[in-house]
Amino acid sequence: MNETTEIYPLNATMRKFGAPQTTIHQSPYWHTLLRPAQVTLGAMVLVAQEPAYAFSELSQASFTDLHQTIKQIETVLTKAFQYDKLNYLMLMMVDPDVHFHVIPRYAQPRQFDNITFIDHGWPGTPNLTQINETSLATNRLIIDHISSCWTDSKEIEND
């Protein structure tokens, strides 16, 4: 984080999705969290750190950082789970802070920690009501796996 970047406290949306325990990565303006309810393997929430309730309220710096963060997410999720498609959902109907649900999509089931993860909505829209049951321990393993791929992907930060 550079010296000119403000440090923002965790907002309500971050806390709802389990931060700081579910944090995978934090950039200067965005928090990447594992979605506790795994709609698909590696489902995440990308939450703006700036206090904003509308996408247009974010600073230019936040948009610039969003571009870099999305590049990282796509690279890391490809390495971690070889997704087939990736959906970004900005709903903000319940949780008002600017955020996206990042849903990796899979044509075929994926195995992780002896669990079969099914994309119940494939090939249509994600089915947010039907989740793959995971324990806190499994979620921690998913976080650690994604984080290890992120650590190995430092070279994409400056592209």
Question: Which pTM value belongs to this model?
Answer: 0.90
Residue 155 clears pLDDT 70, i.e. is over it: no
| CATH topology for the 12-158 domain | HIT family, subunit A (3.30.428)
CB-side neighbour CA atoms (13 Å) of 11: 20
Q: Where are the chain's structural domains? A: 12-158
What H or E segment, with its residue span, contains residue 30?
strand 30-34
pLDDT digits (tens, 9 = 90+) for 66-115: 999 999 999 999 999 999 999 999 998 899 999 999 999 999 999 999 99
